[in-house]
């Protein structure tokens, strides 16, 4: 794989995202996450998966340059649906998947992390969904998963302001489970994963299945609506302005059209 490497240690597959400079979430990377799940699903040597980023970030967002290659709203909706499918598989995967988040998990990067069963964070990490700053909305399940963790009002604030929260705040709001010093994050996450790896794989898989029943049917309705809305906003003049402003490193001037 081009962007993901992994090794197995005491029953834990330690997977590393490596797509410099910011580990931006491209279509190729999303596909490699799916390939990783294919690789470890029936591997008895792997009982838990840890996902973390190489370099300065976990993943600082989607690959915005790829958005300029999308021709219309229908294609944008399909792009969202493809990502949603992989992240839904991640969330229902039969082996625990833990995200170790340092630096930043923004936009699609946070949506990837929210698809994991558990998130551990560096205290100074930044987590957020800044898509509205681009005249867009989250498209990989973010509008549906974030409120489940932080509540509707806090999710609304994070979406409407585009401002991230820190790793410590993420723990306080329920978006993450524990916060560590950045230099200890991966080591601490792997240590927890190794404890999980000692459990019965059969029991772990059934526990994951049972936790899935806590997800209401309306979640899937919301996911479908999110993909459609993702395509709808893409064709707006505001979206074009937001994407261009991002690429030109300037503030966008939205007109409501």
Mean pLDDT within 200-216 = 96
What pTM did the predictor assign?
A: 0.96
What does the pLDDT read at residue 162? Answer: 97
Q: How far does CA 112 lie from the centroid of its chain?
A: 2
Model confidence at 218, pLDDT cuts 50, 70, 90, reads very high
Model confidence at 76, pLDDT cuts 50, 70, 90, reads confident
> Known catalytic residues?
111, 131
Contacts of 221 (CB under 8 A, 6+ apart): none
pLDDT at 71 over 80: no
C-alpha pair distances (Å), 155 with each of 165, 217, 241, 248: 11, 20, 24, 28
Model confidence at 125, pLDDT cuts 50, 70, 90, reads very high
pLDDT at 64 over 90: no
Mean pLDDT within 123-137 = 97
Mean pLDDT within 76-88 = 94
118-154 per-residue burial string, b: 16 or more CB within 10 A, e: under 16: bbbbbbebbbbbbbbbbbbbbbbbbbbbbbbebeeeb
Spatial distance between the Cα atoms of 242 and 235, rounded to a whole number of angstroms: 12
What does the pLDDT read at residue 70? Answer: 80
Model confidence at 227, pLDDT cuts 50, 70, 90, reads very high
C-alpha pair distances (Å), 201 with each of 39, 60, 212: 16, 33, 17
Model confidence at 39, pLDDT cuts 50, 70, 90, reads very high
What does the pLDDT read at residue 222? Answer: 97
Mean pLDDT within 200-217 = 96
Long-range contacts of 206-215 (CB under 8 A, 24+ apart): 208/92, 208/93, 208/94, 208/95, 208/96, 208/117, 209/92, 209/94, 211/117, 212/91, 212/92, 215/148
Q: Between residues 63 and 49, which one has the greater pLDDT?
A: 49
What does 70-125 look like in DSSP terms, one character per residue? --SHHHHHHHHHHHHHHHHHHHT-SS-EEEEE-SEEETHHHHHHHHSSEEEEETT-
Model confidence at 65, pLDDT cuts 50, 70, 90, reads confident
Q: How far does CA 26 lie from the centroid of its chain?
A: 12
Mean pLDDT within 96-112 = 98
What does the pLDDT read at residue 73? Answer: 86
């Amino acid at each position: 794989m081009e962007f993901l490497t992994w090794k197995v240690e005491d029953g834990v597959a330690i997977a590393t995202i490596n797509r410099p400079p910011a580990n931006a979430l491209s279509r190729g990377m999303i596909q490699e996450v799916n390939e990783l799940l294919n690789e470890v699903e029936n591997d008895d040597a792997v009982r838990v998966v840890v996902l973390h980023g190489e370099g300065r970030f976990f993943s600082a967002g989607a690959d915005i340059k790829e958005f300029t290659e999308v021709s219309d709203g229908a294609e944008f909706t399909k792009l969202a649906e493809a990502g949603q499918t992989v992240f839904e598989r991640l969330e229902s995967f039969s082996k625990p998947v833990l995200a170790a988040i340092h630096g930043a998990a923004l936009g699609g990067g946070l949506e990837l992390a929210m698809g994991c069963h558990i998130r551990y964070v560096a205290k100074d990490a930044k987590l957020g969904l800044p898509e509205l700053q681009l005249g867009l909305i989250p498209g990989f399940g973010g509008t549906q998963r974030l409120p489940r963790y932080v509540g509707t009002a806090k999710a609304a604030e994070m979406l409407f302001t585009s401002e991230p929260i820190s790793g410590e705040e993420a723990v306080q709001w329920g978006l993450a489970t524990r916060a560590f010093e950045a230099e200890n994050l991966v080591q601490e996450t792997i240590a927890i994963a190794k404890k999980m790896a000692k459990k019965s794989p059969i029991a772990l898989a059934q526990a994951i299945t049972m936790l899935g029943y806590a997800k209401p049917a309306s979640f899937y309705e919301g996911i479908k609506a999110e993909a459609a809305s993702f395509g709808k906003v893409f064709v707006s003049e505001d979206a074009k302005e937001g994407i261009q402003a991002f690429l030109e490193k300037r503030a966008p001037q939205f007109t409501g059209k």
